[in-house]
Amino acid sequence: MQREDITTWALANGWQMIAGHPSLTKPSAPKEAIMRLVFKATVATLEVKKPAGKWEKFGSAAYGDIQMDPEHDRPLGLGFEKLHSFSMLMQENKDRQVFARMK
């Protein structure tokens, strides 16, 4: 996968651009990112915000090593499979965007 493919997937699945990065937010604070994808020249990195406010690298992979998981509709290789509440957080963000458009 390439950077554009990952970004397109993220934005179609509830992520939003915050400070130039595709990000997921807390349900209680929809303007504050708690998870983001950071793109470098050759690698994509998944970062999670610690309670103290510092970003911690959770997973990283070269673009060529990232593949789409057809069963779960998410990229493999960035560490999403290790996050148990990831699917729920992504769904909450997606639902919030859908309901915001209805207003």
The model's pLDDT over 71-100, given as tens digits with 9 standing for 90+, comes to 888 899 998 888 877 878 888 888 888 877
The β-bridge relationship of strands 43-49 and 55-62 is antiparallel
Q: Which of 6-15, 22-31, 60-69 has the lowest mean pLDDT?
A: 22-31
User: Residue 61's domain spans which residues?
Assistant: 3-102
pLDDT value of position 103: 64
What is the distance between the alpha carbons of residues 37 and 15, in angstroms, rounded to a whole number?
10
DSSP letter at 86 equals: H
**CB-based contact 32:26 (threshold 8 Å):** yes
Number of domains in the chain: 1
CA separation, residue 68 to residues 14, 29, 71, 96 (Å): 17, 29, 9, 24
What is the pTM assigned to this prediction?
A: 0.85
pLDDT digits (tens, 9 = 90+) for 11-25: 999 899 999 999 999
